[in-house]
Chains A and B, each alone.
Chain A
Amino acid sequence: MAYSDKVIDHYSNPRNVGTLDKSKKNVGTGLVGAPECGDVMRLQIEVDEATNVITDAKFKTFGCGSAIASSSLATEWLKGKSVDEALNIDNMEIVEELALPPVKIHCSVLAEDAIKAAINDYRVKNGLPELEAAKSHH
């Protein structure tokens, strides 16, 4: 498997690895994938409740290089975006940015799922209705 330079860069120097306090009301956590499938992503966002802007994002991923890179890239893109803007991140943008081959597209799908799951968690915690699309890929 030949990885693109961008995948190798994110794998070797992952951005925003870590853990946010999931008990905080303004932190949303998304945990997607399954160990037996070989991919588990946990993506977390911290939202400024006044402005609705994502001020911090962290991830931890169990998976291949493309899965790690997809989640690392996702955290980079999330920071500074409003929650609504973040919902528009499409997995194909990740595929394009990281030059993922067809067999690795599922990694980008998982990253998009993780973003939506994190946002959903944030919404539910703050009394907003659940997103309809949150489970669309399963």
Chain B
Amino acid sequence: MLKLPIYLDNNATTPMDPRVLEAMLPYFTEQFGNAASRNHPFGWQAEEAVDYAREQIAQLINCDPKEIIFTSGATESDNLAIKGVYEMYAQKGNHIITATTEHKAVLDTCKHLEKQGARVTYLQVNEEGLINLEELEAAMTPQTILVAIMYGNNEIGVLQDIRAISAIAKKHGALFFSDATQAVGKVPVDVIADGIDLMAFTGHKMYGPKGIGALYVRRKNPRVKVTAQMDGGGHERGMRSGTLNVPGIVGLGKACELARLEMESDTARISVMRDRLEKELLTLEESYVNGSREHRLPHVTNISFKYVEGEGLMMGVKDLAVSSGSACTSASLEPSYVLKALGLSDDLAHSSLRFGLSRFTTDEQIDYAINHVKEAVTKLREMSPLWEMFKEGIDLNSIEWAEH
């Protein structure tokens, strides 16, 4: 029997892989030591486990284990990278370049720095969700210290041209930071080949635990430093104080190892399911995929169903755990700023659903999801005055709507 609701919101968080849990468990009880305790075996065991995890992580992203700074998650990593670089490189300049479709943890950090004197350029994206490399190049100045562009977008899954972006940053002497929260563990990420100087990622988006993340900080060519954002014991090479979350770190390490070993086979399976889901849902009239289909994470699709309202649609697909492009909690609806940045109208942004598949998604679940969404959209359209007008050939823009 199929268990309902079906979880297809894996860009929000993933279930933990049982193998990750198994690896973590001893570190809550028997091996509970503080990795910073240098005087007894409890501490040594913990430190050994942390060092092993660092290696597992380093292998996945092709870096040196010493270049991994553990944090509480991607939001903290984003803050540490951007604020840390801003403070550390203040003498060189105060200009940061980012994009309008970044995660709030990046955008709000930049806004915070603007109040402190930073100059921030927010690059627009095209209808595919990609930044324009010429605009990036044109925005570079001698004061530009950091280019912060995400690897894969959380709402639409679009993958930026990371290698081209990092090359432009390097050419102009700026550091390149990438929030790779959605990409690490899903697509091959190689900080050397990709030219990344700092990179944020987290455990719970790749079948690891919540509350543990990392910031990759390059140690040579160039040697990058960030100012610590918390004062304390000087852990993590002085960049992030606080007793290490040993079970979490062990879990993140195991999750990275599994990703390295299974990414290829996972992706092959998941992308076939994603493509089938997408193809079937696009047989519904007036449905559109948001963002580039070519440059995209393998497990995500974001589809707008025109003439159907997002919250009503969410209610109609109650057997699915998905997320909508509409953050409707009050009379004033706020459509997704990412979808708006692609140029979508408010109503189309409201009518979108994001499907995020995982290693644990089955064909049977996808079959169910396809039928369930088709039924809900069809039913809601039969109830929609806008759909009726569309079918009658009435241009909705020609109507004088009473705004409320």
Interface residues of chain A, those whose CB is within 8 Å of chain B, are: 1, 3, 11, 14, 17, 19, 31-42, 60-65, 67-68, 103, 106, 109-110, 113, 135, 137-138
Contact = CB atoms under 8 A, between A and B. Distances in A.
B388 A19 contact: yes
Contacts, number: 96
A-B CB proximity, top 3 nearest: A34-B401, A64-B311, A42-B385
B105 interface: no
Interface in B329-343: 329-331, 333
A26 to B, nearest CB: 21
Nearest to B332: A37
B397 to A, nearest CB: 9
B17 interface: no
B310 interface: yes
B385 to A, nearest CB: 4
A128 B23 CA distance: 78
A65 B311 contact: yes
A63 B402 contact: no
Interface of B: 307-312, 315-316, 326, 328-331, 333, 345-347, 350, 382-388, 396, 399, 401-404
Given A38-B310, A60-B385, A62-B308, 14 more contacts: A33-B401, A33-B404, A34-B401, A35-B347, A37-B333, A40-B386, A40-B401, A61-B383, A62-B309, A62-B384, A63-B309, A64-B328, A67-B309, A113-B402
A62 B333 contact: no
A34 B404 CA distance: 7
Contacts of B330: 103
B384 A34 contact: no
Given A33-B401, A37-B404, A62 B328 contact: no
A64 B384 contact: no
Nearest to A7: B315
A64 B404 contact: no
Contacts of B315: 3, 11, 64-65
Given A63-B309, A137-B404, A38 B328 contact: yes
Contact of A39 (B309, B346, B383): B309
B404 A60 contact: no
B403 A60 contact: no
Contacts of A64: 309, 311-312, 315, 328
Contacts of B328: 38, 64
A64 B330 CA distance: 11
Contacts of B345: 36
A17 B383 contact: yes
A60 B388 contact: yes
Contact of B404 (A65, A103, A138): A138
B350 to A, nearest CB: 5
Given A35-B347, A38-B310, A62 B382 contact: no
A108 B174 CA distance: 55
Contact of B402 (A3, A14, A33, A106): A33
Contacts of B329: 1, 103
A3 B394 CA distance: 33
A38 B388 contact: no
Contact of B385 (A3, A11, A41): A41
A37 B403 contact: yes
Listed residue (B309, B311, B346, B382) with the most chain A CB atoms within 10 angstroms of its CB:
B309
A32 B402 contact: yes
Contacts of B312: 11, 62-65, 67-68
Contacts of A14: 383
Nearest to B329: A103
A106 B404 contact: yes
Contact of A36 (B308, B347, B384): B347
A113 B403 CA distance: 12
A38 B326 contact: yes
A35 B404 contact: no
